[in-house]
Structure 1
Amino acid sequence: MPVALVILLLDITLIYHASRTGRLQPWAFIILMIPLVGALAYIVVELVPEWFGSPGAQQARKRIAGKLDPKKAYRELSDRLAGSDTIANRQALATECLKVGRFDEAERHYNHVLKLPMGDEPAYALGKAQAQFGLNRPADALATLDDLKERWPDFESAEGHLLYARSLAEVGRTDEALDEYHALAAYFPGAEARVRYGMLLKLVGRTAEARVVFNELLLQMRRAPRYLREAQAEWLSIAEKQLST
């Protein structure tokens, strides 16, 4: 049997499978436009995880599928909200909007939720501040976070604290930002806070202190488990580059 015919039959079979399992979009397009490669991608991303079913395989599937169709989750959540306008559905869509850079839409969703009787929650105010920062409005993000702290003084969030420090730096309140980063570096999970702290120290000319921050981070991460180093690889690379310049 000619190879071209085998590939065609494989493509047709996989497209049929995709249509029966609710995966037609975007897989039909990918399989048809990239013969064989598209089919192999479908097998690796969709079928292999099903066959093995391990949590790691499922996570890998989500990562690869997200790269192939980054707007899939956004479309699904938009459809879900259109069918049932609940706080949970709107919040889920707002969170996805933050992930895909639709900050204006995210802010609208969070504003809507915060006005509802059951939606007045600090986590939603934090989401609004994240959207405002994404829209290059750090002053608005600070105002939202200050209001959050006043209304919910017991609310704790490492991500919120990091956003506060970043917003302070963006509006030029450098000394306050350094104080926030110093406090944040002691407990923030991962390397981002310490790298940003070191970069700000370096920016204001406190180079020796910045080098201490970077060196301590890299030394600590060398002793960390491999999976943790891999998860923080991007920030560790930045720290290494900062030390070399």
Structure 2
Amino acid sequence: MSFVFLLSLALQIACAVHVIRSGRPLYWLFLILIGSYLAVLVYVLVAVIPDLQHDPHGRRAARTAMKAIDPQRRRRELQKQLELSNTIDNRRRLAEECLQQGDYANAQELYRSLLTGMYATDPHFMEGLAHAQAGSEHFAETRQTLDALAQANPNYKSSEVQLLYARCLEELGDTEAALNEYRVLADSYPGEEGRFRYGRLLAQSQRHAEARNVLQGQLRRAEMMPRYYRRKEQTWLKAAKLELSRLGES
């Protein structure tokens, strides 16, 4: 059987399943089965797309697909909004999008433009600037920003800020201070990155037995967590397994 036929059949089956699950009139089944690609196209336009627009899960799936097809689309939209109205909120959203896309230079510029006037010490903007600086591997500047954040906002608590500060200490060679920060994060950070970074730095400091204990404990703990959690944290769990294999048996 040709690929064209198989693709047509797969699309027809998918649309037929949608007809039944959505409770639409059964005459759609007949039209889809005899109409091949044309009927599938009509059904998608008439039924599937409107359903996606009204379904939260469908909207999320559509946004994900669109982001994969055109990753710059949202950024262009935010840039146009900023050009039309140069507001704090529009600049913030564009800064966050640049940061997410890894455009750290523009993210830094935007966050600095936000840190003026009544927002000069806004903790969220300072945190965004620190992440952009770290993304550019400017860790000395990142530490300065985080120190200024802590001084201006002593009650501001963020696990991401704590982790970023520990990373700065590690990158700047202050290993003992970094280990102290990671030790706290190993118990408090809502994810596996803090535990992994603690174990890895212990290993790099030739404290192999402690590193094994941390990494083995991390993996045992993860086994008791729900599957969705392990799937979400799989990057750090795989990294922990790899680090343990490098350390070898105790």
Contact map agreement 1:49 1:61 (CA 8 A) in 2 = no
TM-score, length-scaled by structure 1: 0.77
Structure 1 gaps of 5+ residues are 8-35
CA distance in 2, matches of 1:179, 1:130: 21
1:148-202, Cα deviation, whole Å (9 max, x unpaired):
1011000000011111000111111111111111111211111111111111111
1:66-110, CA deviations, whole angstroms, 9 ceiling, x for partnerless residues?
222221221111111111111111011111111111111111111
Give distance in 1, aligned partners of 2:168 and 2:60: 32
Bigger radius of gyration: 2
Task: Give 1:199's aligned residue.
Answer: 200
**Alignment CA distance shift 1:220-1:48 (3 Å):** farther
Mark the CA change 1:175 to 1:48 in structure 2 (over 3 Å): closer, same or farther.
farther
Residue in 1 that maps onto 2:94? 93
Aligned-partner Cα distance in 2 for 1:198–1:82: 47
- Residues 121, 149 of structure 2: 8 Å contact kept: no
User: Could you say if the C-alpha distance between residues 49 and 173 of structure 1 is closer, same or farther in structure 2, counting changes exceeding 3 Å?
Assistant: farther
Superposed structure 1 runs of 4+ greater than 6 Å apart: none
Count the aligned residue pairs.
Answer: 206
1:49-88 map, 5 Å: 51-52=51-52, 53-88=54-89
**Which residue does the alignment assign to 2:187?**
186
CA contact (8 A) 1:87 1:113 kept: yes
Distance 1:199 1:230 in 2: 21
* Alignment RMSD: 2.4
Structure 2 residue ranges without an equivalent (≥5):
9-36
**8 Å contact kept, 1:87–1:119:** no
Q: For residues 56 and 233 of structure 1, do their structure 2 counterparts lie closer, same or farther at Cα, with a shift above 3 Å needed? A: farther
Counterpart of 1:51, as a letter, is D
Question: 1:153 is paired with a residue of what secondary structure?
Answer: coil
Q: Which residue of 2 aligns with 1:233?
A: 234
Q: Secondary structure at the match of 1:117?
A: helix
TM-score for the superposition, normalised by structure 2: 0.76
CA distance in 2, matches of 1:104, 1:229: 33
